[in-house]
Amino acid sequence: MQFLEPAFLQAVILSVIAASTPLLLVAVGELVAERAGVLNLGLEGMMIMGAACSFAGAYFTGSIVVGALAGILAGMLLSVVFAALTLGLAVNQVAAGLALTIFGIGLSGLIGAGFVGERIETAPHLYLPALTDIPWIGNIAFGQDGFVYVSLALVIGIWWFLYRTRAGLVLRAVGDNHVSAHALGYRVLRIRFLAVLFGGACAGLGGAYLPLAYTPFFIPGMTAGRGWIALALVVFASWLPARVVIGAYLFGFVTILQLHFQALHVPVPSQFMSSLPYLATVVVLIAISRRCGLAGSAAPASLGLVFVPDR
Amino acid sequence: MRLVLERRAERSTAVAVASPLIAIALTLLTMAILFAALGKNPVTALSVYFVEPLTDSYSLIELAVKATPLVMIAIGLSLCYLADVWNIGAEGQFLIGAVCGSWLAVRTQGTDAGAWVLPIMLMLGAVGGAVYALVPAIAKVRFGASEILTSLMLVYVADLLLDYLVRGPWRDPNGFNFPTTAEFDPVATVPILIGETRLHVGALIALAVVAAASILLGRTIKGFKIKVVGAAPRAARFAGFNADRLVVLTFAMSGALAGLAGIIEVAGPTGHLQPNFSPGYGFTAIIVAFLGRLNPIGILIAGLFLALTFIGGEQAQISIKVPLDLTKVFQGILLFYVLACDSLILYRVRVVSSRPGAADAIS
């Protein structure tokens, strides 16, 4: 059986990791923003802008790092617009997020138009002479590109920040009850601004992963709903960092599964297989919400609510 | 020194009327800057976008043709948003409506089926859209799943289903392998209103929908309930209004309208089913709903305005060579400004000293 050969299994696992990493980067940033009480539905827009700008950066400088930084910056700039509206002007977060997505998709098309058809070198993979050559696990543990290690380090860092530092505790308090946090003297809007900015940076980096490491070119709309799936992942994870990892890798697995099924010429229409990640998201959202009983009881209590401090 | 928001004692009516106009003015200003940055003369570019389409009869009719689906979908969405229900998957319901109605057109193709075909197609489109919208509605009321994410995910699924049908079972055998159905028979086509133009009966249906929504929201108990559940959920609970039932109802109504708009678009201006027949009407309709301040008459005007951006965008692409994506940028910026200006109806922005206590010392 082809399925059980080590080389094949290893290739599958490597491709699952590659498909999961952008989801993980974006979802973990959104988790921080949501823990501070801000629902940013503009992930898809920030992500595609990250993809376009990172490609432009890497194309002109030939440097993956500069590309990634350009992507991060693009995501942050868009998140500043979102913050100005939702925090500065107390605009409904759902509507503002949608506007950000529409805007980001349009602007990325504008920026990326000149780069369609161009190629770049993708991010190099780690190679440690003895370790990477270990059969079975060498390539998986020691042969990834830098983004993969950054994404995992980010999750650990965020877990440590949220649960082991005072600042993390304050951030969670702001998300759970902004009135009380304000009464205690915490600067709710400032903390939320920083959380949104962080979410924007992560979304930009997640978007940057696509042209810098996943495919060596930029296509308009190449995020293909990954930003929305990342939003669902945060719900799936019940707002817990470790579970975001599980969720992201599960979704990466579904994505790769459908690709392999298509390659094996299973007599199912390819469009049906392509719709699997989206259908899986719907099913998972229903299942997870049911298990939690009331609508999102695990959600931060002030999530999505407008806060205007009374002086 | 910094800026803070302060809640107004009562809603400012003056700002409420002016806010969409201010938003449009600010958007035009931003666009002028953007055109200048792209190396185009802002005055010429803006006139290609917004004035030239209004000067010839062909474009004026196209305006009505493009506003038809936008207004119909946005009316449905406004019912949802008034009830604080977030259906953002209208694009999917639009596509599914088109698919369901087209099924009959494809089945009866080349037969001697009579004039009953089109009315049944429209009905199938509306029912299809409504049923598709019920999935996120029921997922929300039964299981508490976020309707924002489920309705949006189903857009991608609808898109893929449409793609499968026109590339597979419904493909026109004489269509040179293009992914499209055959042209619909005359009995499966929406009648044209004026002679040789593309203006079709759908425009009248859209006007009827606007009138019906005005009556529903202004004159009926159901419309009142929708508004109360959205604006004051606690009051609605005390009054015994069933919020879950309204979620299902508003989703079903908006899905039906989006589905109806979908089949009218396919059986009207397009004439056959093909992938990408929608330039994102379901998403643009969200902007229409907000720009129209969730008011039926406002939505009618806003629908015409956003139709103008589609036509202007197409003309600008040809005559001054700017990318078509600029239209989306423009629509996104417009929604930013609309939301920002709406906020000023409820709040006023005040300048205060950044040092706490300093403001009190002065006063």
B196: number of Cβ within 10 Å: 5
pLDDT tens digits for B232-286? 888 888 988 888 999 999 999 999 999 999 999 999 999 999 998 998 999 999 9
Tell me the shortest Cα–Cα distance from B94 to chain A, in angstroms.
18
- The closest CB to that of B150, out of A271, A285, A294, belongs to A285
Going from N- to C-terminal start, the domains of chain A cover 2-122+132-291
Residue B359, pLDDT score = 42
What CA–CA distances, in Å, run from B284 to A107, B67, B304?
Answer: 16, 11, 12
Q: Which of A49, A105, A111, A286 to mutate to test the interface with B (most CBs of B within 10 A)?
A: A286
Residue A288 vs residue A178, higher pLDDT: A178
Which residues are registered as beta bridge partners of B350? B4
CA B290: distance to chain centroid? 9
Task: Tell me the mean pLDDT in the region B218-234.
Answer: 90
Measure CB to CB from residue B343 to each of A91, A107, A110 and give the nearest one. Answer: A91
Under 8 Å between Cβ of B325 and A110:
yes
pLDDT > 90 in chain B, percent: 61
Residue B128 token pair:
């299809």
pLDDT of residue A2: 56
Q: Provide the Cα torsion B268, B269, B273, B279; round to 10°.
A: -130
SS (H, E, C) B325-352: HHHHHHHHHHHHHHHHHHHHHHEEEEEE
Q: Any idea which of A281-295, B145-159, B281-295, B299-313 has the lowest mean pLDDT?
A: A281-295
- Supply the pTM of this predicted model: 0.91
What's chain A look like in SS3?
Answer: CHHHCHHHHHHHHHHHHHHHHHHHHHHHHHHHHHHCCCCCCCHHHHHHHHHHHHHHHHHHHCCHHHHHHHHHHHHHHHHHHHHHHHHHCCCCHHHHHHHHHHHHHHHHHHHHHHHCCCCCCCCCECCCHHHHCCCCCHHHHHCCEHHHHHHHHHHHHHHHHHHHCHHHHHHHHHHHCHHHHHHCCCCHHHHHHHHHHHHHHHHHHHHHHHHHHHCCCCCCCCCCCHHHHHHHHHHHCCCCHHHHHHHHHHHHHHHHHHHHHHHCCCCCCHHHHHCHHHHHHHHHHHHHHHHCCCCCCCCCCCCCCCCCCCC
Q: How confident is the model at residue B351 (pLDDT cuts 50, 70, 90)?
A: confident
Lowest mean pLDDT among A202-216, A297-311, B98-112, B156-170: A297-311
**Which range, of A197-201, A260-264, B91-95, averages the lowest pLDDT?**
A260-264
What pLDDT is stored for residue A84 in this prediction? Answer: 94
Distance CA B331, CA B307 (A): 11
pLDDT value of residue A304: 84
Residue A120 pLDDT > 90: no
**Percentage of chain A surpassing pLDDT 90?**
58
Asked whether the predicted pLDDT for residue B360 surpasses 60, the reply is no
| 8 Å CB contact between A9 and A3 | yes
The lowest-confidence range among A272-281, B162-171, B300-309, B347-356 is B347-356
pLDDT at position B39 is 87
Structure confidence at residue B3 (pLDDT): 76
The fold of A2-122+132-291 is ABC transporter involved in vitamin B12 uptake, BtuC (1.10.3470)
Nearest Cβ partner for B325 among A92, A109, A309 = A109
Exposure of B81 by Cβ count < 10 A (0-12 exposed, 13-18 middle, 19+ buried)? buried
Contact B144 A294 (CB under 8 A): yes
Q: Please say if the pLDDT value at position A293 is more than 50.
A: no
- Name the least confident of A69-73, A124-128, A150-154, B141-145: A124-128
CB contact under 8 A, A272 and B164: yes
CB–CB contact A271 B340 (8 Å): no
Judged by CB atoms closer than 8 Å, whether chains meet at B336 and A85 is answered as yes
Q: What tens digit of pLDDT does each residue of B162-174 get?
A: 999 999 899 988 8
ipTM exceeding the 0.95 mark: no
3-class DSSP state of B232: coil
pLDDT of residue B210: 97
CA within 13 Å, CB half, B87 = 41
In this complex, is the C-beta atom of A106 within 8 Å of any C-beta atom belonging to chain B? yes
Name the residue with tokens 């992507």: A71
Span A29-54, average pLDDT: 96
Confidence of residue B127 (pLDDT cuts 50, 70, 90): very high
Which of A39, A241, A221 has its CA nearest to residue A153? A241
* CA angle in degrees (0–180, nearest 5) for A259-A263-A269: 75
Give A10-21 pLDDT, tens digit per residue: 888 888 999 999
The nearest alpha carbon in chain A to B166 belongs to A271
pLDDT at A305: 86
CA distances in angstroms from A91 to A35, B5, B290, listed in the order given: 19, 11, 12
Asked which of A277-286, B179-188, B353-362 is least confident by mean pLDDT, the reply is B353-362
**Using CB atoms, which residue from B290, B328, B339 is nearest to A109?**
B328
What pLDDT score was predicted for residue A113? 84
